[in-house]
Amino acid sequence: MPDTTLPSRPRILGIAIPSPLRRLFDYRPGSDCPEQGWQPGVRVRVSFGNRQVVGIVIECRNQSDVPDNKLKTIDACLDTHPLPADWLWLCQFTARYYQHALGDTLHHALPARLRQGQALETQTREYWRLTSQGHQTPSGEPARAPRQAALLEMLRQHPSGLVKQAIMAQSFTQPQLNALASKGLIAASQHPLTGSPEQADNGFLAEPTLPLNREQSSALATVHEQLDAFNPCLLHGVTGSGKTEIYLQLIEAIVSRGRQALVLIPEISLTPQTLSRFRRRFRLPVVALHSGLSDNERLDAWESAASGRARIVIGTRSAIFTPLKRPGVIIVDEEHDSSFKQQDGLRYHARDLAVVRAQHAEIPLVMGSATPSLESLQRALSGHYRHLRLTQRATRHAPAKLELVDIRGRVRHGGLTPPVQKQIAATIAAGHQVLVFINRRGFSPTLSCHTCGWIADCEHCDARMTLHRQPPLLVCHHCDHRRPQPATCPNCGSGDVRPQGTGTERSEETLAELFPDTPVHRIDRDSTRRRDSLEQILNEVRRGEPCLLVGTQMLAKGHHLPHVTLVVVLNADAGLYASDFRALEHSAQLLEQVAGRAGRAELPGRVLVQTLHADDPNLRLLANEGYNALAEQLLEERRSAALPPFRFLALLRVESPREDQASELAEAAAGALRQQLQHRELPVDCLGPVPAPMERRQGRYHLQLLLSAAKRSQLHEASAWLVTWLEAEPRARRARWSLDIDPQTLS
């Protein structure tokens, strides 16, 4: 057993190095290294192959299997204090659980600046506060510079000063600070890091809390019962039932006990609107982690969370790796959202890591959703999580029911049937807004020749090209291959080449034709590429003038659209008969989320769902009784089919540009694994290898092997063995492979 806390200088350091190899590398401590107190988590610079890398000390030992003359000495020791222990623990857990190399996991979880070896903490921080002249300046001044006035106002709320990072986190800029300083209204000073002026928190509520309704109070009270223990709760409440208000009041309680809150939200929801809701409520440093941060801002956010200065940390998936000095609660909003699972490289699920992290830290965990994942729902139903139900909307109107519209044999114009067009017209005439949901961007998903039947396929994938009009191109949504739209059929030369089916662009075009006097806003990945363009469109929409919104799931989630009273789902059928076992769960969640956009404020809403399968029992159950009824039925089906959450899965994906090399490796892996399972008498099923649902993608052949077990420990043992086998297997160097623990899709 390695002793990780040797009191005197160890002979050998086991170091995690950013590399896909699943092992530590042994080095000798250098002469500049401290004699004592080596601890796991210290960063060192070492030479590795022919490069210099930053590694992290994991073990201190007296012996190595590497011969003495081969052992290298580390080049530099970068830290006097190790990286936070809770962070290191989480990374080690993650690497183990997801069968991923520790060095690569640590690298993933560390801000770029720290990966590059930058010093961890500067010893002083810059604080800004009002000068006496600043104190005498009336509120609202300087009137011609509203941001400067807002900055002055914020500093007025913090008489002891604010650290510069906290000021920047509220979107103020250095030029604004400079401008006020040059007028003599504010001044900077340097303070040592410990005992920072912000530590005493009083009166941090910047706006009053809402009085909770009965369901909300009882949910909050349940969380409050155990604030010092692992207390996992599923906050299962319809859209608009006031889950966010509960988060806010819970955070208030956590912060007033001097603790920190970590809030995870889906990628799509980290909007200025969401952030401002938290920042409006609390006069406290709220740190937001998102992809728009610079490396320096990210380092600042990390340090302020690690030091305890940041009280509230909000971020998407990767924010789960933020170290916290005094963790008090973890909140996962929209816990069912698939963006919490990383789909390449380190394939972790942030919600699942939130569970182990809260357990390790012995703090409450609140997972909120209107449409919980079957995993979480099952744990709530079986009593592993507290099941907190909110059945009423906090505002006046009950959530709208789904009304199925049978489109079989009906004429459709741009995908819309006449009765739906009529409803849209009536809604606009009443001065309200309409949302048309269609989960397909582009103009049309298929371009085909009506003379010979030719279809525009992707050369690199088993997939059709999507026709786009803006700009006019055929685009493959799987590999992003693009080519011009042919004027005539490349097969028979006929001019009768037509788009088939409807995407957002086509729907936008049709709606503009049908309703020429009403603005149409399209919201999808293409129309919102520019930064802030989504917020700009939504701000326009929130002004409340009648309009038509066409969009993909970007529109379906999270956004509060108070003037939308009619939601139209162009086609609900995509997930009904898909082969993936989670497809129906995910499309039911999406439909329910879309429906939740209707009638959120003063006005009741309607949701019209067009379908070719109006008799489908699952769709009818969803429409008539709602998500929960369908979810319970799906759980029964999963139980009898031995699928998650009643079984645990791991998926080995193998790919290569050469089909024979991919299948050779997949077959060999399957054979070796089956033999090993038998030898160990391990009850793990091994299915395949089979071609992936889209066998050829980006010019590569994809095969997969599915492992399934009744117990996590069994799956873990089999996966660990398989990964070791693959690492040693020469054929594995000719094909790419990855192992996905708890895969979200089998594609």
Closest separation between CB of residue 559 and ligand ADP, Å?
A: 11
Nearest CB to ligand ADP, comparing residues 467 and 561: 561
Closest separation between CB of residue 452 and Zn ion, Å?
A: 3
Q: Give me the phi and psi of 59, to 5 degrees please.
A: -135, 150
* DSSP assignment letter at 730: G
Binding-site member from 206, 210, 690, 694 for ligand ADP (CB under 6 A): 210
3-state secondary structure at position 685: strand
CA dihedral 413, 416, 418, 420 (to 10 degrees): -160
Q: Which does 178 bind (CB under 5 to 8 A by kind): ligand ADP, Zn ion, none?
A: none
Nearest CB to ligand ADP, comparing residues 240 and 327: 240
Q: Is 512 in the site for ligand ADP (CB under 6 A)?
A: no
Query: Tokens 């919201």 belong to which residue?
Result: 523
> Site map for ligand ADP, 353-392, x if CB under 6 A?
----------------------------------------
Cα separation of 669 and 723, whole Å? Answer: 10
Q: Is 242 in the site for ligand ADP (CB under 6 A)?
A: yes
Contact residues: Zn ion, CB under 5 A = 449, 451-452, 454, 458, 460-461, 476, 478-479, 481, 489, 491-492, 494
Closest separation between CB of residue 483 and Zn ion, Å?
A: 10
Q: Which does 449 bind (CB under 5 to 8 A by kind): ligand ADP, Zn ion, none?
A: Zn ion
Q: Which does 394 bind (CB under 5 to 8 A by kind): ligand ADP, Zn ion, none?
A: ligand ADP
Nearest to 154 by CA among 8, 284, 345, 329: 284
Nearest CB to ligand ADP, comparing residues 334 and 505: 334
Q: Is 599 in the site for ligand ADP (CB under 6 A)?
A: no
Q: Is 395 in the site for ligand ADP (CB under 6 A)?
A: yes
Cα separation of 208 and 388, whole Å? Answer: 24
Evaluate whether 474 touches 483 at the Cβ level (below 8 Å). yes
Candidates 106-114, 132-140, 211-219, 342-350; binding stretch for ligand ADP (CB under 6 A): 211-219
Nearest CB to ligand ADP, comparing residues 212 and 682: 212
Q: Which does 692 bind (CB under 5 to 8 A by kind): ligand ADP, Zn ion, none?
A: none
Q: Which does 213 bind (CB under 5 to 8 A by kind): ligand ADP, Zn ion, none?
A: ligand ADP
3-class DSSP string for 137-172: CCCCCCCCCHHHHHHHHHHHHCCCCEEHHHHHHCCC
Binding-site member from 231, 241, 448, 593 for ligand ADP (CB under 6 A): 241
Q: Which does 574 bind (CB under 5 to 8 A by kind): ligand ADP, Zn ion, none?
A: none
Nearest CB to Zn ion, comparing residues 389 and 481: 481
Nearest CB to ligand ADP, comparing residues 82 and 237: 237
Closest separation between CB of residue 440 and Zn ion, Å?
A: 16
Closest separation between CB of residue 482 and ligand ADP, Å?
A: 39
What count of residues does the chain have?
A: 747
Cα separation of 708 and 710, whole Å? Answer: 7
R_g of the chain computed on alpha carbons? 28
Closest separation between CB of residue 206 and ligand ADP, Å?
A: 15
Nearest CB to ligand ADP, comparing residues 370 and 718: 370
Number of helices (H), then strands (E), belonging to the chain: the values are: 22, 31
CB count, 10 Å around CB of 68? 8
3-class DSSP string for 315-362: ECHHHHHCCCCCEEEEEEECCCCHHHECCCCCCCEHHHHHHHHHHHHC
Which two three-digit tokens encode residue 237?
């409440």
Candidates 116-124, 210-218, 306-314, 574-582; binding stretch for ligand ADP (CB under 6 A): 210-218
Nearest CB to ligand ADP, comparing residues 237 and 626: 237
Closest separation between CB of residue 252 and ligand ADP, Å?
A: 14
Give residues 215-234 in contact with ligand ADP (rule: CB under 6 A).
Answer: 216
Q: Count how many Cα atoms sit within 13 Å of the Cα of residue 647 in the half-sphere of its side chain.
A: 20
Binding-site member from 213, 296, 633, 661 for ligand ADP (CB under 6 A): 213
Return the beta strands (E) in 143-265 as ranges. 162-163, 186-192, 231-237, 260-264
Q: Is 243 in the site for ligand ADP (CB under 6 A)?
A: yes
Residues touching ligand ADP, count (CB under 6 A): 15
Binding-site member from 10, 84, 232, 237 for ligand ADP (CB under 6 A): 237
Binding-site member from 244, 249, 269, 322 for ligand ADP (CB under 6 A): 244
Cα separation of 66 and 53, whole Å? Answer: 20
Q: Is 212 in the site for ligand ADP (CB under 6 A)?
A: yes
* DSSP assignment letter at 567: E
> Site map for ligand ADP, 245-284, x if CB under 6 A?
x---------------------------------------
Q: Is 148 in the site for ligand ADP (CB under 6 A)?
A: no
Which two three-digit tokens encode residue 250?
């819970």
Which two three-digit tokens encode residue 678?
């038998």
Report strand pairing: 606-611 vs 648-656: unpaired
User: Sign of dihedral through CA atoms 704, 705, 710, 715?
Assistant: negative
Contacts of 649 (CB under 8 A, 6+ apart): 643, 706, 707, 708, 715, 742, 743
Candidates 242-250, 340-348, 431-439, 534-542; binding stretch for ligand ADP (CB under 6 A): 242-250
Nearest CB to ligand ADP, comparing residues 372 and 442: 372
What one-character-per-residue DSSP string does 525-544 give? TTTT-STTHHHHHHHHHHT-
Question: Where does this chain bind ligand ADP (CB under 6 A)?
Answer: 210-213, 216, 237, 239-245, 394-395
